[in-house]
Amino acid sequence: MKHFEDRFVGDGTQFYMQGWEPEHPKAVAALVHGQGEHTGRYAHVGSGLSEAGYTLVGFDLRGHGRSDGQRGHSPGYETLMDDVARFLQQVATRYPELPVFLYGHSLGGAIVVNFALRRKADLVGVIATGPLFKLAFEPPAIKLILAGVMNSIFPRFSQDSGLDHTALSRDPEIVRAYEADPLVNGRITARHFYGFHNAGLWALEHAEELSLPLLLMHGTADRITSESASREFARKAWPLVTFHAWEGFFHELHNEPENAEVIRTMIEWMDGKLKR
């Protein structure tokens, strides 16, 4: 397996990109990570996919990781869609002959599903884990009102996301590593929150319009994003959705103690799509 790093520029923003390549890749999984984190937290996923012949390549979202931008901020959801389009163009340039899957977790999970609904792309399929269609809890009404007001008058207004780190994984080492990671950030702006909150609801309303195969996976004990919302999406978008509920798993399926089983499920699903 070879690891590479690269950068690309879009809309005046410099993005960091990295990947994990087997010697003879048969397809690419293009990664969009979650809120507040970065692609470096997926190295073990890259290793697992590489052993099965898949390249994993991802980019740090604007305002995240090693990419430019105010921490936890995006100018709007369509900007995020544009960023993914630019990223996929980089993937297509680097791997012009390989089929591509779009893979996202949490915020990234909702982004890849929204991208599949809103944009046309040459993809074999989409994988979403713990997608942020809805939060697993109802945000206080005052926070939603404040986000709406600040989105209008001061969209860059930033506050702590309030993420419960212990809800990420049942493995305490994962939680400790997350808290010690200097590239992880806990900030979120009004515009960014308002954008993904509305986009998650939009995706649920337009689930019937899905036109690509989707592997949708969620932990039943996820306290961050709503497993029932994923079930709702899967029901509405059937039969294009393969839904897998992981009993008792927390939010980051790829970081649970049984992560090898999760990665193997992704591989088997992608293998099945490539054989068609």
For residues 57-61, average pLDDT: 98
Strand, helix or coil for residue 5:
strand
Beta-strand relationship, 100-105 and 125-129: parallel
**Considering the entire predicted model, what is its pTM?**
0.95
Lowest mean pLDDT among 21-35, 146-160, 242-256: 146-160
Which amino acid belongs to residue 119?
Answer: R
For residues 184-194, average pLDDT: 90
Domain boundaries, the chain: 2-274
pLDDT confidence band for 158 (50 / 70 / 90): low
CB 69 within 8 A of CB 33: no
Lowest mean pLDDT among 32-36, 44-48, 74-78, 96-100: 74-78
In angstroms, rounded to a whole number, what is the distance separating the alpha carbons of residues 238 and 168?
28
In angstroms, rounded to a whole number, what is the distance separating the alpha carbons of residues 40 and 178?
11
Residues with Cβ within 8 Å of 267's Cβ and at least 6 positions away in sequence, in order, are 48, 49, 52, 54
Other beta carbons less than 10 A from residue 94's beta carbon: 16
DSSP string over 36-88: T--GGGGHHHHHHHHHTTEEEEEEPPTTSTTS-SSTT--S-HHHHHHHHHHHH
Residue 157 has pLDDT above 70, yes or no: no
pLDDT confidence band for 128 (50 / 70 / 90): very high
Residues with Cβ within 8 Å of 215's Cβ and at least 6 positions away in sequence, in order, are 125, 126, 127, 128, 241, 242, 244, 265, 266, 269
Residue 159 has pLDDT above 90, yes or no: no
pLDDT confidence band for 140 (50 / 70 / 90): low
For residues 146-160, average pLDDT: 66
In angstroms, rounded to a whole number, what is the distance separating the alpha carbons of residues 128 and 216?
5
The pLDDT assigned to 23 comes to 95
Burial label for 241, CB within 10 Å (0-12, 13-18, 19+), is buried
Class of domain 2-274: alpha beta
CB 231 within 8 A of CB 134: no
In angstroms, rounded to a whole number, what is the distance separating the alpha carbons of residues 223 and 61?
23
